[in-house]
């Protein structure tokens, strides 16, 4: 909701200031200028990026307004799930039971208790892959941590692609605004023998092209690319939380302390309180 409010503020501030200065909004209605600017910018965006990055950018742009689902509820459920996995592993025959859960998480009754986590396939895959690896006895702790770090780095690099790609598109929009303006001037030069009103209209359209390129770049697309960067950081943070939980448990911490160590890595706006974690432990103990 705040993102929509912010974009409305941009529109109302620019448009309102223009109208209050005795400007006429109809003069800004130049759909062909928009076609040139946005069409060329998106075409260049498609040329410069693999198709999976294009699709991911569209998907993450939608998440800016709808939310990606990486909220406080998901992180609470994630910690709860990790606690349940560790408690299961500590029971007699627990390793075998744990393997059954991580081999088929889609059918696992344990994972099914937390549909918000189960629906995040990248997270589930990370949990299952490294829970399975944690059962290997002769794997040194530092090697285990290094493998998780490398996986997180790869995921982080990939998650950064949509924001970076959209940022580059934002930087190109003022340039395409100039392209539209130059084309407008070309049209104007061909109309010099016409009435003054027509020449003025053509010049206005050309200037609007420059205006729109700058506005779209710095008022809309640029901020959205920045918001995508913040959004994907929560996805990476979830993997970092899982890493700390798994590493702490494998190094001998009790489940409750291992999960609390993971809780400590979270951003303040999604971090459950210690009281919340106590409720999880008590629920599991009942």
**Mind listing the pLDDT tens digit for each residue in 89-98?**
888 888 888 8
**Mind listing the pLDDT tens digit for each residue in 28-72?**
899 999 999 999 999 999 999 999 999 999 999 999 999 889 999
**Mind listing the pLDDT tens digit for each residue in 84-129?**
999 998 888 888 888 889 999 999 999 999 999 999 999 999 999 9
Q: CA separation (Å) from 56 to 39, 62, 126, 152, 164?
A: 19, 10, 19, 18, 12
**Domains in the chain: boundaries:** 31-285
State the Cα–Cα distance between residues 56 and 193, nearest whole angstrom: 50
**pLDDT recorded at residue 283:** 65
What does pTM read for this prediction?
0.86
* Band (189; pLDDT cuts 50, 70, 90): confident
Supply the mean pLDDT for the chain: 91
With contact defined as beta carbons under 8 Å apart, do 180 and 210 qualify? yes
**pLDDT recorded at residue 11:** 92
């Amino acid at each position: 909701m705040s993102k929509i409010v912010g974009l409305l503020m941009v529109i109302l501030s620019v448009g309102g200031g223009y109208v209050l200065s005795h400007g006429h909004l109809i003069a800004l209605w130049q759909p062909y200028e928009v076609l040139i600017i946005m069409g060329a910018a998106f075409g260049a965006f498609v040329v410069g990026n693999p198709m999976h990055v294009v699709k991911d950018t569209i998907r993450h742009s939608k998440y800016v307004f709808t939310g990606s689902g990486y909220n406080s509820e998901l992180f609470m459920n994630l910690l709860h799930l990790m606690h349940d996995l560790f408690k299961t592993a500590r029971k007699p025959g627990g390793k075998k039971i744990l393997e059954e859960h991580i081999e088929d998480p889609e059918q696992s009754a344990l994972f099914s208790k937390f549909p918000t986590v189960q629906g995040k396939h990248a997270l589930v895959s990370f949990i299952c892959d490294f829970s399975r690896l944690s059962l290997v006895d002769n794997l040194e702790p530092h090697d285990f941590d290094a493998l998780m770090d490398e996986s997180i780095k790869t995921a982080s690099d990939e998650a950064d692609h949509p924001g970076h790609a959209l940022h580059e598109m934002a930087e190109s929009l003022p340039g395409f605004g100039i392209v539209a303006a130059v084309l407008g001037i070309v049209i104007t030069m061909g109309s010099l023998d016409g009435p003054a009103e027509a020449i003025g209209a053509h010049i206005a359209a050309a200037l609007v092209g420059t205006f729109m390129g700058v506005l779209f770049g710095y008022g809309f697309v640029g901020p959205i690319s920045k918001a995508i960067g913040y959004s994907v950081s929560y996805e990476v943070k979830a993997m970092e939380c899982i890493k700390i939980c798994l590493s702490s448990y494998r190094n001998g911490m009790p489940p409750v302390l291992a999960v609390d160590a993971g809780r400590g890595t979270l951003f303040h706006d999604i971090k459950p309180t210690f009281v919340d974690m106590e409720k999880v432990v008590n629920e599991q103990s009942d």
